[in-house]
Structure 1
């Protein structure tokens, strides 16, 4: 029994190996065909380059050598001019921070700019502070309204609980109290 299974395994392995070898040989044939076409294309490109070189060698011929000395002289003069211009520029710039209450010149323009900016800045600051105050006030009002709503819900819940769990006489008194409260609220709202 064991020998039969061993022979089956070896037969399967040989078949698998044969299939792999066949696939490999087919891939090798395809690769060889691609290499042959690649070699022929490279030869064509080489021939085209050789023909282009032959054509270009015949066209480019300089009759006289070019004189570079005039260009060098012009460049040297330009460099010297740039050095001279750099040398003439001011060396250091000193920046001063001064508070001028009484300017030396153009006092009208100075005060116009300074006070114009100050008024603008103060107006913006005032607007921002008022906006912050309004925002805080609005936030506080919303919190207070929410607290009152919670309290009203609690009172209303207690009212309903008491109304549902009482006898008829108390229910009539509670109805009367509710109607009187609604009337009082309408009078105060007008």
Structure 2
């Protein structure tokens, strides 16, 4: 759930959790991810680590304002694993996250309702022991200006407590700033009205 310009996510991978049901073991993992490649990387790692497991079911959600998500049952009955995991991502209102539940089959079938419960519970336990943090949706701007305009540019930066994430201060200066979305228009206008200063979103 993204309200105004904030969202919830995790900044470190979780410790694994273990849930057992009728001799089947379910290991839950959570990872912070920025893109699908990172999600695939963590999945491959877990497949190597748990190479004797039967299923590696997962769900991930990426993005803040436009959302991408995927849920995978990995051979379990349709919608008995991936969607229950994804349901917990929605319930905890987190994004930029991958949750994987690794199952070792214990010889006793759980049935669809048993599987849904096991995957949902494991995902929930995994999220409960994550350090969930709130971040702001930021917009980055590139500002170009001449060295002689440095003081007036830096005064605005200082007065508005703007984060500089990159800078090159030579005869032609370039700085990249990061601004909270709700303040972005105001900050843009502050620089846009300065003579000789060019600002553009990146």
**Higher strand fraction: Structure 1 or Structure 2?**
2
Which structure carries more relative contact order (alpha carbon 8 Å, separation 6+)? 2
TM-score normalised by L of structure 2 = 0.17
Instruction: Tell which structure's C-alpha radius of gyration is larger.
Output: 1
TM-score normalised by L of structure 1 = 0.17
**Higher helix fraction: Structure 1 or Structure 2?**
1
